[in-house]
Amino acid sequence: MKGSTKKLSQIVGKWIRRGHFVVYSEDNTRFLVPLRYLNHPICRVLLEMAEEEYGLNVRGPLRIPCDKEFFAFILSMLGKNTNDNVDKALLSISRFHANYSFL
């Protein structure tokens, strides 16, 4: 993921002044996400999943491979200063979702 780190930092550089970035779910729901969430492991997992699913050379908005309900749940947990156990549970859910999204 070395090359993707450089590309991601270029994209994030554009967002720094604004304090938020936009993400779209699989079902085209638009989310405005605070930049501080990028340091959270859940967001890193979601960005890795997006890279695996869509690649890095895709033109257009940043998409994550999960539906709007799942991503809204993740955002609500991130906004509540969750403890380590909830963080681990969210990571497990995201991995499960990525492996079984075809169901």
Residue 103's pLDDT band, with cuts at 50, 70 and 90, is very low
How many alpha carbons fall within 13 Å on the CB side of residue 12? 14
Q: What is the pLDDT of residues 20-45, one digit of tens each?
A: 888 999 999 999 999 888 888 888 88
Is the pLDDT assigned to residue 17 strictly greater than 60?
no
- pTM tops 0.75: no
Cβ atoms within 10 Å, residue 23: 21
Tokens 């405005």 appear where?
32
Tokens of 44: 């890193």
Residue 95's pLDDT band, with cuts at 50, 70 and 90, is low
Can you count the helices (H) and strands (E) in the chain? 4, 2
Domains of the chain by residue range: 18-99
